[in-house]
Amino acid sequence: MDEVEYDSPIGLLRLEADQQGLTAVRFPKPKATRSSIARPSKSKNRHLKSAVKELKSYFANGSNPLRTPLSPQGTNFQKSVWIELSKISSGSTTTYGEIADRIGNPKASRAVGLANNRNLLPIFLPCHRVIGKSGKLVGYAGDIWRKEWLLKHEGALL
């Protein structure tokens, strides 16, 4: 497992990858030690280099598709939710209930929320684009302010 840190407009991101693809994008706590983590320019992992390049472009203009190979780890249900997340286009939102409908399990909106919470690849699997039925911004492991920032950056919120 390789990892790098990337300073983004929404704070420090710790990116992790194996040989198959990107495995995690984490929001480390502000007091997290940074000395043992490679900087993006020092990484030899091609997936990390790709992810950093794509994140730079995404944060510059908000709508670039992120195509770095991903290597998510989870249950079959979680993976089915994450596949649906990958289909939500930049600048748009959907609800937990709509995702549940799309995966053929219309009563599973809470389980969809839990799968979103377990998504270790935020931004790349854009769980920030999933909102509550009322239109309220709810549930984001990276803090609601980041969800709001990302949605505004993509033009989904004014």
> Can you give the residue range of the structural domain that contains 44?
2-61
pTM: 0.90
Q: Which of 61, 85, 100 is the endpoint of a domain?
A: 61
Q: How far apart are the C-alpha atoms of 101 and 112, rounded to whole Å?
A: 10
Q: What is the pLDDT of residue 63?
A: 73
- Tell me: do 107 and 137 sit in the same domain: yes
Residue 68 within a domain: no
- Tell me: do 88 and 120 sit in the same domain: yes
pLDDT of residue 38 exceeding 60: no
Note the pLDDT tens digit of each residue in 15-33: 999 999 999 999 988 765 5
**Residues designated catalytic:** 127
Place of tokens 């935020």: 122
- Tell me: do 88 and 115 sit in the same domain: yes
pLDDT band at 43 (very low <50, low <70, confident <90, very high): confident
CATH number at residue 7: 3.30.160
Domain tally, the chain = 2
Q: To the nearest whole number, what is the mean pLDDT of the chain? A: 91
Q: What is the pLDDT of residue 151?
A: 96
Question: Is-contact 37 3, C-beta < 8 A?
Answer: yes
Question: Which tops the pLDDT comparison, 29 or 97?
Answer: 97
- Tell me: do 105 and 130 sit in the same domain: yes
CATH number at residue 113: 1.10.10.10
Q: What are phi and psi of 131, to 5 degrees?
A: -125, 170
- Tell me: do 148 and 80 sit in the same domain: yes
